[in-house]
């Protein structure tokens, strides 16, 4: 890690994939016998729902997202903007016609090769210890040198862990999901009982991360609508992280046309969503010990440890990453269009639909009044 500006007290590290050699690829058996908890009366209730101006507000109970200011801890060629600077430069705004949030990279200024281009990184003020996290975007940053991500992270990286829900670089076809932990051998994504309980492909199995070896345990989606151009061509979609201490971490991706009706209706029932793209079982990962007090982060960096490493040339991208950053026109499509972010919490039983206690009281009162009138 490098000396970080104060605004990066939530120290972290992104996934760095040095090279694909030595990573493990299982032959994707895709068994459909999945042992996810099937809960009758499964109820998730909205805890926080962020949309439109919510991302710019600092007024409880609608908690704000902080605009992280300064250089990028992953050494990306960006300079993150304050809320007021981002708004005045047109890098953060709400589309009033439908309340979507746009977070963009500067696509009008020329900067020096290897220089720093203005971008945006926002972090939720509130932190979470579990739940169902929903990220709905209709467009994500694309193109050579870009490195967009939606992820969560706890304090004192990597002690309280990191969960990369959406992440990738350059012209990557599919989404790369990963966990990072601060202790060795307490969290892996080995297949339990020889059965793969997710549709993605394992690329790294040990979640333990240090400043020098911080790839984490990686599962790559196999669906090309999960990232970059494929995601945007599908009008985006939803990513869902279910963080459940007793079961594990599950991540689903749904292209716009395939978002479950229960999720659209804000009554999500993840047990009905089928096999997730990524799953890290609590049988091979001590979730409680490794993940706590996570804040959510949305950002776009350029080049940096991952996008600008050896993978840049391997991606078929032209020239060098440093030269790429100089040219404003390369960043016209480097923007997020975010419909909403929501966090749900599980409620045992049918709490959400319990009849109001006022109802019997109203009936009793009516009866009393009726009897008095007689
Ligand atoms: C805002 O949203 C409307 C309605 O979906 C869309 O037609 C328009 O292109 C969007 N404007 C911008 C600047 O993204
Ligand atoms: C974690 O432990 C394994 C097994 O002891 C070891 O091979 C590996 O190098 C360790 N990882 C790190 C990053 O220290
Ligand atoms: C793995 O097998 C053990 C022993 O049969 C069982 O208790 C456990 O639930 C199985 N795990 C999964 C994920 O199927
Ligand atoms: C999950 O574990 C974390 C970390 O120990 C804890 O703070 C949290 O309360 C647990 N969540 C639930 C729902 O039990
Ligand atoms: C900038 O990038 C665009 C698109 O990649 C390219 O057509 C153009 O020639 C580049 N301009 C310069 C000055 O490098
Ligand atoms: C806003 O409009 C854009 C462009 O038409 C669309 O992709 C996005 O899903 C819309 N967002 C909402 C919240 O309706």
- Residue whose CA lies nearest to ligand 4 atom number 13: 130
From the CA of 130, give the closest atom in ligand 4. Answer: 11
- CA dihedral 351→353→356→360, nearest 10 degrees, is -110
- The verdict on whether omega for the bond into residue 175 sits within 30 degrees of 0, i.e. cis, is no
Q: How far is the CA of 193 from the centre of ligand 3 (A)?
A: 6
Q: What percent of the chain has pLDDT over 90?
A: 74
Report yes or no on whether pTM surpasses 0.85: no
Q: How far is the CA of 172 from the centre of ligand 5 (A)?
A: 21
The average pLDDT across 26-30 equals 25
Confidence at 365, pLDDT banded by 50, 70, 90? low
Q: Which residues are catalytic?
A: 162, 167
152 vs 174: CA distance, rounded Å: 19
205-220 pLDDT, tens digit each: 999 999 888 899 999 9
**What is the DSSP code string of 70-82?**
EE-TT--SEEEPP
Q: How far is the CA of 301 from the centre of ligand 4 (A)?
A: 31
Lowest mean per-residue pLDDT among 2-11, 80-89, 159-168, 283-292 = 2-11
Of 275, 162, 280, whose CA–CA distance to 219 is shortest? 280
Residues in the chain: 374
371 vs 374: CA distance, rounded Å: 5
237-279 pLDDT, tens digit each: 999 999 999 999 999 999 999 999 999 999 999 999 999 999 9
The average pLDDT across 293-311 equals 95
Q: Which ligand lies nearest the alpha carbon of 247?
A: 3
- Residue whose CA lies nearest to ligand 6 atom number 3: 138
Could you give all domains of the chain from N- to C-terminal order, each with its CATH number? 42-356 (2.60.120.200)
Is the distance from the beta carbon of residue 82 to the nearest atom of ligand 5 less than 6 Å? Answer: no
- Residue whose CA lies nearest to ligand 2 atom number 10: 184
Q: In angstroms, what CA-CA distances link 358 with 103, 348, 364?
A: 45, 22, 10
């Amino acid at each position: 890690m490098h000396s970080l500006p104060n605004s990066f007290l939530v120290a972290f590290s992104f996934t760095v994939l040095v090279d694909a050699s030595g990573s493990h690829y299982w032959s994707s058996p895709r068994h459909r016998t999945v042992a996810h908890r099937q809960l009758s009366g499964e109820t998730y209730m909205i805890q926080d729902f962020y949309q439109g101006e919510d991302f710019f507000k600092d007024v409880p109970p609608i908690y704000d997202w902080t605009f992280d200011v300064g250089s990028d801890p992953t050494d990306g060629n960006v300079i993150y903007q304050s809320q007021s600077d981002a708004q005045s430069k047109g890098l953060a705004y709400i589309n009033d016609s439908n309340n979507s949030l746009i977070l963009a990279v500067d696509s009008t200024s020329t900067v020096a090769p290897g220089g720093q281009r203005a971008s945006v990184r926002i972090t939720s003020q509130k932190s979470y210890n579990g739940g169902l996290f929903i990220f709905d975007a209709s467009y994500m940053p694309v193109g050579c040198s870009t490195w967009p991500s939606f992820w969560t992270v706890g304090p004192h990286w990597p002690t309280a862990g990191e969960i990369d829900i959406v992440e990738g670089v350059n012209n990557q076809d599919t989404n790369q999901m990963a966990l990072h932990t601060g202790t060795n051998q307490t969290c892996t994504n080995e297949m339990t009982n020889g059965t793969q309980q997710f549709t993605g492909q394992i690329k790294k199995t040990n979640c333990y991360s240090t400043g020098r070896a911080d790839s984490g345990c990686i599962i790559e989606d196999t669906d090309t609508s999960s990232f970059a151009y494929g995601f945007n061509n599908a009008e985006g979609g939803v990513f869902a992280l279910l963080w459940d201490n007793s079961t594990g971490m599950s991540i689903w991706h749904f292209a716009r046309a395939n978002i479950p009706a229960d999720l659209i209706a804000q009554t999500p029932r993840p047990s009905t969503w089928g096999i997730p793209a990524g799953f890290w079982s609590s049988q091979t990962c001590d979730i409680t010990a490794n993940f706590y007090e996570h804040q959510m982060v949305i950002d776009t960096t350029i080049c940096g440890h991952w996008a600008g490493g050896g993978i840049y040339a391997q991606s078929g991208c032209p020239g060098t990453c440093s030269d790429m950053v100089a040219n404003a026109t390369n960043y016209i499509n480097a923007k997020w269009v975010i419909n909403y972010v929501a966090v749900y919490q599980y409620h045992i039983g049918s709490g959400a639909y319990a009849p109001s206690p006022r109802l019997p009281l109203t009936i009793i009162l009516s009866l009393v009044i009726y009897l008095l009138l007689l």
